[in-house]
Amino acid sequence: MTKFATPDSAMSSGGDRSHRLARVLQLYDEPQRKYSETELRDIFQYQMVQPVTADLSELGPLVAGQVRLLADSQRLLLKSFADLLNHPSPPLELLVLTKDFAKANREAAGSFLPKDVATVLYYAAIAVALVRCHKRITELKDDQLAQGLTWAVRRPWIDAPTREIFDRALKSLSAPAP
């Protein structure tokens, strides 16, 4: 996650939102810090507009070229996580890399992302792969995945498109196999 390159468009509602976000990001290394719902919403919204190529490249130098190629493939023009997660037919490889990025941030001490935001991003990548690509990119069993998706969809700070993809993924898990 880019530390302080807060685009005005990401913080357009509420003049002091960017100041709150900067304060939150400065405190990222506090162990077990509790974030307010407003802080989590702001961080989630900020993360969604971050460039996929920059954040996923943090997974290693070999991944950087692959990410750029995938993001630009077939002229998809995937610039942000929101672009990727809302695309009707996103590259599965980018969803896998997003899942891996979120999982790494969820498990890393001192991560820039709060655990809850990283966990939502993790389940969002899995849900999009399941719903839009009809592929499973996790080894979680259905009941474990349903539990995680249910947790994620209940976060009051996620946006409507993310909530919808969680709902659709949950319905696909409960649907009988063809």
Residues 6+ apart with CB under 8 A from 153: 163, 166, 167, 170
pTM over 0.85: no
Question: Which of 102, 118, 125, 129 lies closest to 155, judged by CA?
Answer: 118
Q: For 34-85, what is each residue's pLDDT tens digit?
A: 899 999 999 999 999 988 877 776 777 667 667 777 766 655 566 889 999 9
Over the range 115-139, which residues count as b (16 or more CB within 10 Å of their CB) and which as e? ebbbbbbbbbbbbbbbbbeeeebbe
Model confidence over 106-160: pLDDT tens digits?
988 878 899 999 999 999 999 999 999 999 999 999 999 999 999 999 999 999 9
Q: Are 133 and 169 in contact (CB under 8 A)?
A: no
pLDDT recorded at residue 175? 72
What pLDDT, on a 0 to 100 scale, did the predictor assign at position 73?
66
DSSP per position, the chain? --SS---GGGG-S-TTHHHHHHHHHHTTTSTTPPPPHHHHHHHHHHHHTSBHHHHHGGG-HHHHHHHHHHHHGGG----BHHHHHH-SS--HHHHHHHHHHHHHHHHSTT-SS-HHHHHHHHHHHHHHHHHHS--------HHHHHHHHHHHHT-TTS-HHHHHHHHHHHHHHHSPP-
Instruction: Encode pLDDT of 83-117 as tens digits.
Output: 999 999 998 988 999 999 999 999 888 788 999 99
35's tokens: 């974030």
Q: Where are the domains of the chain?
A: 16-27+35-174
